[in-house]
Structure 1
Amino acid sequence: MNYQADVCIVGAGPSGALLSHLLAKKGLSVILLEQNAALGQAFRGEHLNEEGEAVLTSHHLLQAVEALGILRMKKLEYYAKGRAFKTILPDTAIGHLGIHVPQAHLLKGILQETQQFSHFTCLLNTKVTKLITDRSGRYVGVVATREGETIEIVSQLIIGADGRYSTIRKQAHIDTQKHKHGFDLLWAKIPAPQGWEPSIKMALVEDKQLSLFTQAGGFIQIGWNIEQGSFPQLRKQAFTPFIKQLTDTFPELAETVTHHIQSWQDFVLLDVFSSHCDCWGTDGLVLLGDAVHTMTPTGAFGLNSALKDADCLASMLAKATIAQFNVQEFQQIREQAIEKVLAQQIEKEQSFASNFEDWAS
């Protein structure tokens, strides 16, 4: 089966979903491809900052997402020796310190608003295998497999919004520079104790960052930095002393941690790195989000930067001029902002321990 559209977007993550909505709203025909069988299955950040919130609000999408369930953070606390020694409250004009948005809620909320457009098509369980070029070398479509069938999608513009391991980037032979940050991350998710306030809590354990993020639905996400590449050796050691550091730091979590984190297998390891591409696309093809600038989890900038990418790109595309779209102009507009965010991440990582100097003294 063959499809045709003005734009083919590969990857139904935050940037791909938002871009689909914005372009369909402008009257462009859009086909959105997602390799997973359901939305929200890939690992992505789930915290909106002011920029991400502003993007969704400006396009009247936050209300649809909120109806599915979000959670506004009421405070940020720094912990040591089992107690909070510093608390940061939100600006009263803003009212929160970030918003937890479950990934599935964000994507569903955006795309349910997009389904109203007859010129929008979303194909799940569809894996791109190859790019199609015309005689001049311009990219004009993709080949994909869907439920055992090979399909072709022809379009004027291909968008690679397919994440840090982007197939589109690889197929287009666009190089990426990868940067390690000296740490990896252990994730775990536990039920929140009764009465737990929506908050972000930070601690320093053996000079490593330990963070708790309250989540919608009554959960807490634990993010625990460990030395880069150390997990194979770490998991050979006794588990109890390691997890005791968590309960000593946050005693109110002792019961739920005991019931829900009982072995190394209850953690998920995230290989932490950032990356950037000197080239954001070429004739007929554009990369955005993690596909072109992967970020670390620090500061939850990745999701919000991806939404900003989509917002910016949509503002530059119109049905009459899509064939003449200049990817270099898009890159120039967004690249400086991305470089600034990456610098902020490094600064936050390097200065994290300084938040605990007053307590130590």
Structure 2
Amino acid sequence: MSGAHEREVDVTVVGAGPGGAVLSYLLARSGVETLLLERHSDLDREFRGFGFQPDALRLLDEMDLLEPILDLDHREVRVGEVSVYDRSYEVFDFEDVPGPYDFALLMEQPPLLETVIEAADAFESFTYRPHTPVRDLVREGGRVVGVRALDHDTGEEFVVRSRLVVGADGRFSTVRAAADIDPGLLDSNIELLWFKLPDTVARGAAQSRLNEHGLLLYFGVGGGEVQLGWFIEKGTYPDLRAEGIEAFRRRLVAVDPSLDAVFPDALPSFEACSLLHIEPGLSERWVEDGLLLLGDAAHVASPIGAQGNALAIQDAVVAHAVVAEALDRGDGPLSAGTLRRYEQRRRPAVERVLRGQRLAERGLSLIVRRSDGLPDVVTRSLLRTLFAVPARVPIARLPFGRRLLTRALFGPEPVHVDRTRFRE
């Protein structure tokens, strides 16, 4: 693009997260001239979604990406356990999921994204531009016909014209804002504080500990580390910081005494933490003439159930089929009518997942805020009843809490990669 201020491609994808990277790969492999724009100079950003459910693994396998991804540093999760007042219970088991996808994958996101982008780069129809934030949409006659972007390396602003712009740029999507689409964010009473510790503190790849002092989540991400999550009541993080990092470490040790062995070196300050505002949402619309939203730009998932990555990949698979078919027909700028087939397929499945997450979130909110409610002896009894179920009981016979969690982890109805569009 040297010396030029305008370029034309078939599809411009904004955002190199799981949804944007996967869609770009699928389109490029289908012979669609695709430009992937990423605002950051690299993909190395902490505390992004690190869980990939069995259905996401199946889809990655269908697009020939699972094998190289499994060569990366990762952890496999087949069973999840929770320790409730020092008694351990199994809360999910992927044993009944058809093999070979009978596990979830936990890993850092950057290496996976780099693998997908490298696979896309094998096709001449693909171009990746990091450090290139999109500033605005370009419209003609009320239709989106491209984007206006900034090349940070040269300081030049340029225009990319395309038959379709895909907003895959996350929960704070610039594309969605430029299109004046309401993200439909929902209130939440809790927030999640993330931090990493040596993996010696965790007994398994996925576990949690709960008592009267709080709730801790543990997720192995490879590289000798485990990522922990601490739920807090919304708006209380400034108070937590004001108490100091030593007071916070004492709270964590009260839930899991074994953590004391890695402190203070493993958590020296709050700078090692990242606060996630749990604000799920469902955008009012996902498509218009020349524009399509996917992943968090279209629907912000709660971290509960670790479904965000799977939803984004499923979106990309369905969008690929719709877009590639329309472009093969020789359609000009893609209309909202054509793109609506994607939204009609995906919105019901996403709504079902979000409803389940909202129910689970309300239960977690009660646990996080219960200190002013029921006496501890009553809380212990209720929680132990909720989780105390025999292993390998059919899902239909499980108590409500475990059944809800299992359904959330298994994901929405399956979609499949349209390999007939691939040009080998």
String of CA shifts for 1:187-221, please: whole Å, max 9, x gaps.
10111118x55421112244753211111111110
Q: How well do the aligned residues superpose, as a CA RMSD in angstroms?
A: 2.3
Q: 1:338 aligns with which of 350, 372, 376?
A: 350
- Cα–Cα, structure 1 residues 343 and 205, in superposed 2: closer, same or farther, change >3 Å? same
Unaligned runs of 5+ in 2: 368-378, 389-424
Supply the distance in 1 between the matched residues of 2:274 and 2:103 (Cα, whole angstroms): 26
Partner of 1:358 in structure 2? 385
Match of 1:320 among 319, 328, 342: 328
Preserved CA contact (<8 Å) 2:184 2:282: yes
Structure 2 residue 198 is matched with structure 1 residue 186: no
Kindly indicate whether the alpha-carbon contact (under 8 Å) linking 1:209 and 1:224 is maintained by their aligned counterparts in 2: yes
2-structure distance, mates of 1:317, 1:238: 52
Code of the residue aligned with 2:63 in structure 1: it is: H
Q: 1:236 to 1:20 in 2, by over 3 A?
A: same
* One-letter amino acid of the counterpart of residue 30, structure 1: T
Aligned match of 2:398: none
| CA deviations over 1:229-259 (Å, ceiling 9, x no partner) | 1111222225434322322332333212432
CA distance in 1, matches of 2:198, 2:216: 17
1:87 and 2:104 correspond: no
Q: What is the rounded CA distance, in whole Å, between the counterparts of 1:28 and 1:80 in structure 2?
A: 52
CA distance in 1, matches of 2:345, 2:189: 30
Q: In 2 relative to 1, CA 333–359 (structure 1 residues): closer, same or farther, beyond 3 Å?
A: closer
> TM-score normalised to the size of structure 2?
0.79
Alpha-carbon displacement from aligned partner over 1:247-288 (angstroms, at most 9, x marks no partner)? 233233321243211333332211111111121121001111
Q: How far apart, in 1, do the equivalents of 2:272 and 2:10 lie?
A: 44
Paired residue for 1:64, among 62, 65, 68? Answer: 68
Question: In 2, are the aligned partners of 1:64 and 1:110 still within 8 Å (CA)?
Answer: no
Alignment of 1:259-298 (within 5 A): 259-298=265-304
CA distance in 2, matches of 1:150, 1:345: 41
Given the superposition, is the C-alpha separation of residues 169 and 278 from structure 1 closer, same or farther in structure 2, using an over 3 Å criterion? same
Partner of 1:116: 122
Are 1:40 and 1:107, in contact at CA under 8 Å, matched by a contact in 2? no
Deviates more, 1:228-237 or 1:264-273: 264-273
Of all paired residues, the percent bearing the same amino acid is 31
* Aligned match for 1:159, one of 153, 166, 183: 166
Instruction: Give the distance between the partners of 2:258 and 2:302, measured in 1 at CA.
Output: 29
Residue 126 (1) aligns with residue 153 (2): no
Q: Is the 8 A contact 1:49 1:99 kept in 2?
A: yes
Question: In 2, distance between residues paired with 1:144 and 1:347?
Answer: 40
1: CA distance between counterparts of 2:281 and 2:362?
A: 18
* 2-structure distance, mates of 1:188, 1:42: 10
Normalising by structure 1, we get a TM-score of 0.92
Cα distance in 1 for residues equivalent to 2:11 and 2:178 = 18
Q: Which residue pairs with 1:30 in the alignment?
A: 34
Amino acid of the structure 2 residue aligned with 1:349 = E
Pairs aligned (count): 358
More strand by share: 1
Runs of 5+ in structure 1 lacking a partner? none
Instruction: Tell me the SS of whatever aligns to 1:215.
Output: strand
